[in-house]
Amino acid sequence: MVDTRVVLSGITLDNPVIPASGTFGYGREFAEIYDINILGSISFKGTTKDARLGNPLPRIAECPDGLINSVGLQNPGVEAVCREELPNLAKIYQKPLIANISGFSIEEYITCARAMDKEPQVGIIEVNVSCPNVHNGGMAYGVCADSAAEVTRAVKEVTTKPVYIKLSPNVTDIVEIAKACEDAGADGISLINTLLGMRIDIKTRKPVIANKMGGFSGPAIFPVALRMVYQVANAVNIPVIGMGGVSSAADVIEMMMAGAAAVQVGAANLVNPYACKEIIEELPALCEELGIEKLADIIGIVK
């Protein structure tokens, strides 16, 4: 029997598979088609201080082996999430959650972190300093080591829960930023968020997406994500959650060998709503085939 359990900052997950924020909503639609309690955890939809309608339509552009999205952090705001969404999610999912938060100022990050700190279902706070789909926020904090560290320190001061900083690949040195977050007190690192991409409609001669550019995700970005997870995992002494183009059990194994303690599945959920379920079901057989008795043993074995 393969032991698929992993540990993130003292929290034991039955397996390392986690739906990525923004690709699983609050779990309701998925709970209608399978028991979502098989998931290791859920990083629920990104939360901001105030409600956001998101970016104008169209927001999605298809690409070979991926897609570009510019949803723009659409969410009902932190008060509504804590008052309505989390209690509803607790009815269908009984494990610790990952609360993904974002902000347009340090004060907004603090407000969201304080609110999530009070929620018993939340096990980890994932701080998004890397969203490419909003102006003057999100990624503005994640492209500079000093500002990423500033957000990290501010959030750590108002919560006792583990804090994971979600980093952008749209930088020159991901390792420098990850180490700055670790030095500022981060308990873990999540990476990567989407790459910045664009499509043009050659008939209309205009960008496909109303916001012109958006976050490129899907299998095409997996090698980039894997490289960055490997670099960061070998540079920091805190857990790394790997993501970016993961769509199979083999991808999960590869991410973990590169150094990821757990793995988030994003765009694959939008293409196949059973993606996480299928990966979890396939993992034990693949581990047996590869001679892996305990998944945690392979974390970072590639040096």
Contacts of 227 (CB under 8 A, 6+ apart): none
CB 214 within 8 A of CB 70: yes
CB 18 within 8 A of CB 38: no
- 112 catalytic? Reply is no
| Polymer length in residues for the chain | 303
- Report the b/e string of 134-160 with b at 16+ CB within 10 A: beebbbbbbbebebbbbbbbbbbebbe
Of residues 63, 82, 112, 131, which has the active-site annotation? 131
Distance CA(103)–CA(112), nearest Å, equals 8
- Residue 255, both tokens: 């991410």
Q: Which of 110, 93, 1 is nearest to 43 (CA)?
A: 93
Question: Under DSSP, is residue 81 helix (H, G, I), strand (E, B) or coil?
Answer: helix
| Active site positions, annotated | 131
